[in-house]
Structure 1
Amino acid sequence: MQTVTLSLYRFDPLRDRLWAFAQMGLSRWPLARLPGLRFWKLMGSGTGEGFTPIPNTAVWAILCCWSDPAAARAGLSAPVLGRWSDRATEFCTLTLDTVSARGRWSGAQPFAGAAAPTGPLAALTRATIRPRNLLRFWRRVPDISARVGEDPAVRLKIGVGEVPLLHQVTFSVWPDAQAMARFARNSGPHAEAIRAVRDGDWFAEELYARFRITDAEGRWQGRPIHEVLA
């Protein structure tokens, strides 16, 4: 069964932020050689909680799709990822099973599986924004981000991406499918943005996925990650 991991890293000193930026290129070759790693992305983040076009040089993310749990366990212990965790001020890793996924990412369909939607669930959306729609897209984001932050059900939210402005990923954790559905149904800016995207053909490529969280390790926002998600 495929296993997905999302690792978040925070770097405080400037020298470590510069190191992380350099790893956007230097970590690619050793990641590509890890056994069982079928798909991966190195990503930066935006300021605040990531939902802005202004880069945050402190927070970075690595998403990995492994062939099975054994490959994930071995890969997360590999030197290339060990260097990231050793250097980071704080880091955490979420282990995920795919509940559902539709769309493409860099021309691929990376997420496979149909796990039961039990326990805390994570939602991931990813899009390549058409350049002609950049201004309209980023005008919508602050309202949506504010609504997510105001929702008492959301456990964790972050915006990351491969290329600033153009390639965007949102990741959020919810206590259950009902809470996730209530936000999608009742949030005015979110619903309006979805309609605008469909009507205006804003995205050149998009993907939507839900995951069941099977494990969480490390610290984030100054607390053990399992407390953040509780």
Structure 2
Amino acid sequence: MQSTTLSLYRFGSIPARLWAFAQMGLARWAMHDVRDIGTWKLCGSGTGEGFTPLPNTAVYAILATWPDHDTARRALFGAGVFRRYAAISSERMTLFLTPTTARGTWAGEQPFEVGSEGHGPIAALTRATVKPRVAARFWGRVPGISAVVGEDPNVMFKIGIGEVPLLHQVTFSIWPDAASMAHFARKNGPHAQAIRAVREEGWFREELYARFNVDAVEGRWEGATPDFAAPPADDKRPQEKIGIAAE
């Protein structure tokens, strides 16, 4: 079953942040050489709740697909490019995900191979290419959306990332279940209004929507190891964290 990983890295010092920014271009060569990797994306992030056009120079992300979680774990532990990110960052976290639904395309392709749905928390990813002529209107609505996402008590985690500032944006969030996520998406407010505008005015050149089971989490974020993933229904033992980097 295909594995998708989202690795987040926080960089504290100015030299470390400059290194991370440079890797948005330089690391592409090394990523091509990672064994068994499928689709991969190097992304920056937004400030505040993450869903803003202002870049957060401290946080970067690598999204990747693999044949399975074990293959992902070996690569994330052993590949030089991931080891360098881990060594230079001040904080890092990797989410191990299994795609359950996916529609649309990313750079003309569908990167996610859908498996079966599980139970417990789910992750939602939206990726869109914003048409340049409507970028100002799109980002004008984002602060309102960001505010309501930040205030929603059901949101377990959220971040906005992207490959190209202003034009290529990705939203990623984790919810306790599908019902709470659907309630947020459908209730009237800035998010629903923006969705209607997207549909009526055709703001996006390309769209992709995907959901994932949250299978495991490794590392620390904001000083703690989040417990997003649920154990199997017949297993009440504490969840085992998957280790991918030497401490």
Residues 138-157 of structure 1 aligned to structure 2 (within 5 Å): 138-157=139-158
Q: Which residue of 2 aligns with 1:186?
A: 187
Please tell me whether the aligned partners of residues 215 and 229 of structure 2 are also in contact (alpha carbons under 8 angstroms). Answer: no
8 Å contact from structure 1 (residues 35, 71) kept in 2:
no
In structure 2, relative to structure 1, the CA distance for the partners of 1:193 and 1:117 (3 Å cut) is farther
Regions of 4+ moved over 3 Å: 227-230
Equivalent position of 1:2 in the other structure: 2
In the alignment, what sits opposite 1:29? 29
Report the residue type matching 2:171 in the other structure: T
SS at match of 1:153: coil
What's the CA shift string for 1:175-228, capped at 9, x where partnerless? 111111111121421111111101111001110000000000111112113279
TM alignment of 1:101-116, pairs within 5 A? 101-116=102-117
Report 1:56-95 matches (<5 A). 56-77=56-77, 78-95=79-96
Unaligned 5+ runs, structure 2: 231-238, 240-247
Aligned-pair CA distance for 1:61: 0.3
Give the structure with the higher percent helix: 1
Q: 1:182 to 1:117 in 2, by over 3 A?
A: farther
CA RMSD of aligned residues (A): 1.6
In the TM superposition, residue 72 of structure 1 has moved relative to its aligned partner by 0.8
Report how many aligned residue pairs link the two structures.
Answer: 230
Q: What TM-score do the two structures reach when normalised by structure 1?
A: 0.96
In the aligned structure 1, how far is the partner of 2:21 from the partner of 2:88? 13
Of stretches 182-191 and 141-150 in structure 1, the one that deviates more from structure 2 is 182-191
Please give the per-residue CA displacement for 1:17-48, whole angstroms capped at 9, x wherever unaligned: 00101111221112111122110000001111
TM-score normalised by structure 2 residue count: 0.89
Partner residue in 2 for 1:20: 20
Structure number with the higher strand fraction is: 1
Instruction: Report what 2:165 is aligned to.
Output: 164
Within 2, Cα distance between the matches of 1:133 and 1:91?
Answer: 34
* AA in 2 matched with 1:193: A
Aligned-pair distance for 1:86? 1.2
Partner of 1:221: 222
Contact kept, 8 Å, 1:3 with 1:68, in 2: the verdict is yes
Q: SS where residue 114 of structure 1 aligns?
A: coil
Q: Which amino acid aligns with 2:218?
A: E
Look up the equivalent residue of 1:11 and give its one-letter code: F
- The aligned amino acid for 2:215 is T
CA contact under 8 A between 1:156 and 1:228: conserved in structure 2? no
1:70 to partner: Cα distance: 2.9
8 Å Cα contact 2:217-2:229 kept in structure 1: no
Q: Kindly tell me: are residues 227 and 167 of structure 1, through their superposed partners in 2, closer, same or farther at Cα, counting changes over 3 Å?
A: closer
Comparing 71-80 with 164-173, which one deviates more in the overlay? 71-80
Contact 1:105/1:207 (CA < 8 Å) preserved in 2? yes
Hey, what's the Cα distance between the residues in 2 that align with 1:47 and 1:214? 27
- The residue type paired with residue 151 of structure 2 is E
Q: Is the Cα contact below 8 Å between 1:155 and 1:228 reproduced in 2?
A: no
Partners of 2:93 and 2:120 lie apart in 1 by: 19
In structure 2, what is the Cα distance between the partners aligned to 1:187 and 1:34?
44
| Number of the residue aligned with 1:40 | 40
1:119-146 deviations in Å (ceiling 9; x for gaps) = 1110000000000111110111111111
CA displacement, residues 45-75 of structure 1 (integer Å, 9 cap, x when unaligned): 1111221111111000000011222321221
